[in-house]
Amino acid sequence: MTMNRLFLQALRQSLGAVLLFAAGAVFAQAYPSRPIRIVVPASPATSLDALTRSLAQAVSPKLGQPVVIENMPGAGGNIASVNVARAPADGYTLVLQITSFVINPSLYKKVPYDPVREFVPIVLAAWAAPTMLVSSPSLPGVNSVSDLVGLSRAQPGKLNYASPGFGTPQHIAMELFKRQSGGDFTHVPFKTPGEMVSAVLANDVAAIFASASVAIPQAKAGKLKILAAIGAQRWPLAPEVPTFAQAGYPDFKFDVWFGYLAPAGTPTDAVRKLNSEFVAALSTPVVKDQLASQGLIATTSTPEEFGAVIKSDLAYWAKVIKETGISVE
């Protein structure tokens, strides 16, 4: 090879490297250059919708682009998940996921997405305020978890519990609790969380798992009894309520998280940019207060930290679903 050819080859390689570097720099400076769509697997006026609208309002001015929310409920979040998994991996489509995202692969016989291979984590945004086991005040002599379990054993199959449907977190939580406590409860599914709460308030069912934001006001009004709360520590807004560990059930775990993901292959620069702006918004008192009003506890993470939570929970819930034998199909 002549010196001229060697020179031209070296020149082409150098120019290629420069162009690649320049393209990356242009993307970093230009992103985002159009509206960002966030798919929410729930209806408007729900806590999931409120969480995303709070964040969209906070990050939109920083990103310099509108953040458009598209509500896509149905199939336990699977419809929204598939929609985003099939979207272009360009940083302009995100999805809000909750713990059911890692439960569904074990709950359904066939899930049309892979939660690890088809998505890239952006940020873990919030934890649900402690879910609480509550009972109807009309149950005789029930003032603790052990009382409720004892009554259910004394009246096999006669105590009902409600959930907003098969495979929902409330359904899985109670079935897991039944297995660990030896309680004997009959599942009565409803269509919505509101109907579930109404059922226990009307004494049509004996117990439910409810969010702290629902349970505490009703308990203060004397319409419900809070027996225990899920979590490692007592909830500051209800310090009199024991944790399940303190109530004698240390192995009972049911955490609910909320986080944002994008299609796999989304450029790293876009992932880092989104993570940075979401973390900044979630750290502000305004957003924290807005989330708290919905029964959510704001948190933050790196994409890698959120990815580790997803992988860990996939294994945990696979074990739980196998042990409880729950299936929606």
The pair of three-digit structure tokens given for residue 170, joined into one six-digit string: 């409330």
Predicted local confidence at residue 14, as pLDDT: 52
Range of 13-17, 91-95, 207-211 with top mean pLDDT: 91-95
Same domain? For 122 and 139 the reply is no
72 falls in which pLDDT band (50, 70, 90)? Answer: very high
Same domain? For 160 and 306 the reply is no
- Given a cut of 90, whether residue 289 has pLDDT beyond it is yes
Range of 14-18, 75-79, 265-269 with top mean pLDDT: 265-269
Tell me which residue of 80, 144, 67, 145 sits closest to 111, measured CA to CA.
80
More confident position, 277 or 321 = 277
Predicted local confidence at residue 2, as pLDDT: 53
Tell me which residue of 290, 219, 252 sits closest to 53, measured CA to CA.
290
324 falls in which pLDDT band (50, 70, 90)? Answer: confident
Beta-carbon neighbour count of residue 202 at 10 Å?
10
Across 64-83, average pLDDT: 93
Across 60-77, average pLDDT: 93
User: Euclidean distance between the first and final Cα of the chain, in Å?
Assistant: 67
- Given a cut of 50, whether residue 87 has pLDDT beyond it is yes
Tell me which residue of 192, 223, 240, 185 sits closest to 207, measured CA to CA.
185
- Given a cut of 90, whether residue 129 has pLDDT beyond it is no
Report the phi/psi class of residue 10: left, alpha or beta, with left for phi > 0 and alpha for psi in -120 to 50. Answer: alpha
Across 84-103, average pLDDT: 96
- Is the residue at 85 inside a domain? yes
22 falls in which pLDDT band (50, 70, 90)? Answer: very low
What is the percentage of the chain residues whose pLDDT exceeds 90?
68
Predicted local confidence at residue 266, as pLDDT: 98
Cα–Cα distance measured from residue 146 to residue 152, given in angstroms and rounded to the nearest whole number:
10
- Given a cut of 70, whether residue 257 has pLDDT beyond it is yes
CA angle in degrees (0–180, nearest 5) for 238-242-244: 130
Across 112-140, average pLDDT: 94
Tell me which residue of 137, 87, 139, 136 sits closest to 113, measured CA to CA.
87
Cα–Cα distance measured from residue 70 to residue 269, given in angstroms and rounded to the nearest whole number:
24
Same domain? For 42 and 107 the reply is yes
Name the average pLDDT for the chain: 89
Same domain? For 150 and 78 the reply is no
Range of the domain at 313: 34-128+255-324
Tell me which residue of 162, 138, 133, 137 sits closest to 222, measured CA to CA.
137
Same domain? For 99 and 153 the reply is no
Predicted local confidence at residue 25, as pLDDT: 45
Supply the Cα-derived Rg of the chain in whole angstroms. 24
One-letter amino acid at 57 equals Q
The CATH code of the domain that includes 298 is 3.40.190.150
- Given a cut of 50, whether residue 51 has pLDDT beyond it is yes
263 falls in which pLDDT band (50, 70, 90)? Answer: very high
Across 267-282, average pLDDT: 98
Encode pLDDT of 149-191 as tens digits: 999 999 998 999 999 888 888 899 999 999 999 999 999 999 8
Same domain? For 169 and 308 the reply is no
Encode pLDDT of 183-230 as tens digits: 999 999 998 888 999 999 999 999 999 988 889 999 999 999 999 999
Note whether 109 and 327 are within 8 A (CB).
yes
The pair phi, psi for residue 236, each rounded to 5°, is: -55, -30
The pair of three-digit structure tokens given for residue 47, joined into one six-digit string: 């806590």
The CATH code of the domain that includes 169 is 3.40.190.10
Predicted local confidence at residue 110, as pLDDT: 86
Same domain? For 265 and 181 the reply is no
- Is the residue at 247 inside a domain? no
Across 10-25, average pLDDT: 47
Number of domains in the chain: 2
Report the phi/psi class of residue 77: left, alpha or beta, with left for phi > 0 and alpha for psi in -120 to 50. Answer: left
Same domain? For 140 and 121 the reply is no
Alpha helices in the chain (DSSP H): 3-30, 47-63, 78-85, 100-107, 145-154, 169-181, 193-201, 212-220, 268-282, 285-292, 303-324
Range of 103-107, 118-122, 156-160, 161-165 with top mean pLDDT: 118-122
Predicted local confidence at residue 20, as pLDDT: 44
The pair of three-digit structure tokens given for residue 68, joined into one six-digit string: 């458009």
Domain termination site, one of 184, 214, 229? 229
- Is the residue at 18 inside a domain? no
242 falls in which pLDDT band (50, 70, 90)? Answer: very high
Same domain? For 119 and 205 the reply is no
Predicted local confidence at residue 11, as pLDDT: 44
CA distances to 180, 221, 256, 274 from 292, rounded to whole Å, are: 31, 21, 15, 22
